[in-house]
Amino acid sequence: MIETETQTAALPENAYRPLHRGEEYRPILPADAHPPEVTWRAVLWGALFCFVFTIASAYSTLKVGQGMEAAIPISILTIALARMYARRSTLLENVITIGIGGASAAVVAGAVFTLPALYILHLNPHPIQTVFICLAGGCLGVLFILPLRRYFVREMHGQFPFPEATAITEVLVTGEKGGSQAKLLLQATLIAGLYDFFVTTFHVWKEVVNLQFIPLVRGLAERGRMVFNFDAIGFILGLGYVMGLRSAIVFCAGGVLANFVLIPAVWFLGSHMPLAVYPGTLPVAQMSAAEIYGNYVRFIGVGAIASAGILGVIKSLRVIAGSFGIALRAFHGSEAQQTERTDRDFSVVTLLLALVLTALAVAIFFGKLHVSWTVLAWGLALTLVFAFFFASVAANAIATTANNPASGMTMLTVIISAVVLLRFGISGTTGMFFVMAIAGMVCTALCVSGQFITDLKTGYWVGSTPSAQEKVKFIGVLVAALAAGLTIVMLAHTFQFGEAALGDARPVLAAPQASIMKALVVGFMSHQPVTYLLFGIGVMMTVVLEMLGRSSMVFALGMYLPLSLTTPILAGGVLSHLVNRRAENTAGEPGRRIRERGVILASGLMAGGALGGVLGAALRLIPGFRESLIQTPFYTFDPVSQTVSVVLFASLCIYVWLVAQKKEE
């Protein structure tokens, strides 16, 4: 009876807000409920989704630099599948399916950022090496997030918005409840899906608004390198809404500093210098705003993110120690019966044993590269240290903005690893392979860590068993590692990665992220200087923000990510603030419904945007596809095309504002 009643329950009122003193969060399915959770049905569907999305996302990312969102589309597919069985799948089974399937995008992100670079460098790794790098990185990502689970998921309840986890949870809960709320979610999903599909897939109207058809704006861009960008799509609007105004303001502030202070400052100081200033390869006077960002400001952002992540780990040490203490006491039996189902992790012995076995496997892998014991030890230490600290960075970033700074952290891994290994005389092809192997494991680890914290928060809201989620995540990592590694090997025989080589007639897959990593590792293995000063500036910015009591991680992410992403997030945050203010003024049950409908609409925008992006990415895999297959007459005329984009984005905002306040019949 408990199971039937709780299946249709709504999220508690305190699901998204900080808890008052003495208040507890009680999930939809309480700790004393034991509905089916890890079943063959849930595991097999999750593994199938993981396999399919991994292959599709790997090819898509290598071809156009854009992967496929997995977790949100899989959550929608899971809800549909749940109704196919005589016994409808439980919420906990659905969480398991999403957790396994969601590993696909995370492992692919880590793989395509690094592994194709080995083929571009003509190092041609063995298929077993390719799969192992993905698998080892994925396992480290899962293992290193476990000590942080209580901190991010339980202790900081209501402090992080968890945008993607919110969207997935709303899809699951609203889909289970059905009725008017399910129709509302479906309506928002359909609108955003069609909107984002057409704007990101074809030439109908401009996706990014820069307003440079206005003379004043164009003059600022040309004379001061102050460039405004706004990505007008529904997914980001929903993301900003779930983040809320406070986080969105800090996030956008980082973008404002990078694009309207740091880039113009570099331009002003360097525009009169006739020679290139390292790490740039052109004189600053010849650089666009994007090139100044890529050559200088990006490294400041990387330094800020890395230092903010380290400070985040330091802040969470008390909770991490407490988590280990609870696990140790449970292992000895003194608290075995007192640990609630909804707060039960792996035992500390299992965790440590798994870490030791993974580290041993990584050490054996490095030993096969024929390096000295000293270099092997340093390589293993770098891999473990980076993977642990960046797990916290990824979890913090995903919990706050749903954006993982994987490229920045991987760049930092490549740079520091190259500098360390060069001191031991490791360079050339061996050094490049060694560095990219470390970077591949670390990148995969931090991508999996970020995605897994989303699973754990979704499970926390619903009432899943953490230890069950943790066990099945390894299944998802294994399936995704096999699919991603072998897909890359297969594509490497059919295509060229990066740029076309002279005399090679094979078609080219751009692999833009891996091409950047390849250029970076070649540069540093050629004994180029390191941009310590730029990293240091980023570190000092983090220190200043922490002294002011501000969220340094969110600000650092805003500095690193493109302004086209941070500005529409701010728009979503403002919209969220206005809707919630109206809910407060309305008060009572009607006010609660306004707030609830607003979150459902935002979740629908995120779900629809993700589905539209998946469909668009799938179409790009078809030979002969061109974005100009559908093109409006005004697309290339910016004054009209960008105005249409602004009007339609504003219409999405008005839609959320009006429908959130609509009275239910």
Strand 230-231 versus strand 496-497 pairing type: unpaired
Query: Are 631 and 203 within 8 A, CB to CB?
Result: yes
The secondary structure element, H or E, covering residue 315 is helix 298-315
pLDDT of residue 442: 92
pLDDT digits (tens, 9 = 90+) for 605-636: 877 887 787 677 777 767 778 888 888 999 98
User: What would the mean pLDDT of 172-191 be, rounded to a whole number?
Assistant: 77
79 CB-near residues (< 8 Å, 6+ apart) = 94, 171, 172, 175, 176
How far lies 178's CA from each of 10, 83, 601, 617, in Å?
11, 12, 15, 30
Q: What is the Cα–Cα distance from 210 to 222, expressed in whole angstroms?
A: 13
How far lies 12's CA from each of 1, 151, 189, in Å?
19, 21, 23
Q: Running DSSP on this structure, what letter comes out for residue 281?
A: S
Residue whose structure tokens are 């919209």: 575
The secondary structure element, H or E, covering residue 496 is strand 496-497
The secondary structure element, H or E, covering residue 231 is strand 230-231
Q: What is the Cα–Cα distance from 19 to 653, expressed in whole angstroms?
A: 30
Beta bridge partners of 631: 203
The yes-or-no verdict on residue 550 having pLDDT over 80 is no
Tokens of 118: 């080995």
Q: What is the Cα–Cα distance from 368 to 364, expressed in whole angstroms?
A: 6
Sequence-separated contacts (24+) of 279-283 with Cβ below 8 Å: 279/528, 279/531, 279/534
pLDDT digits (tens, 9 = 90+) for 110-165: 888 888 888 888 888 888 999 999 999 999 999 998 888 888 888 888 888 888 88
On the 0-12 / 13-18 / 19+ scale of CB atoms within 10 A, 279 is middle
Q: Would you place residue 529 in the very low, low, confident or very high pLDDT band (cuts 50, 70, 90)?
A: low
The yes-or-no verdict on residue 287 having pLDDT over 70 is yes
Beta bridge partners of 208: 231
Tokens of 466: 């953490």
Q: Minimum mean pLDDT among 283-287, 388-392, 424-428, 431-435: which range?
A: 424-428
The yes-or-no verdict on residue 462 having pLDDT over 80 is yes
- Least Cα distance to 403 among 168, 193, 628, 164 occurs for 164
pLDDT of residue 317: 66
Q: Minimum mean pLDDT among 253-257, 355-359, 474-478, 483-487: which range?
A: 483-487
pLDDT of residue 102: 87
3-state class (DSSP) for residue 583: helix
What is the residue extent of each domain of the chain? 35-660
405 CB-near residues (< 8 Å, 6+ apart) = 302, 305, 393, 394, 397, 557, 560, 561
What is the pTM assigned to this prediction?
0.79
The yes-or-no verdict on residue 336 having pLDDT over 60 is no
- Least Cα distance to 38 among 99, 110, 93, 100 occurs for 93
Report the largest interatomic distance among the alpha carbons of the chain, rounded to a whole angstrom: 78
User: What would the mean pLDDT of 383-393 be, rounded to a whole number?
Assistant: 86
Q: What is the Cα–Cα distance from 533 to 505, expressed in whole angstroms?
A: 43
Query: Are 434 and 525 within 8 A, CB to CB?
Result: no
Cβ atoms within 10 Å of 185's Cβ, excluding its own: 26
63 CB-near residues (< 8 Å, 6+ apart) = 509, 510, 620, 621
Q: Does the N-terminal peptide bond of residue 274 adopt cis geometry, omega within 30 degrees of 0?
A: no
pLDDT of residue 452: 92
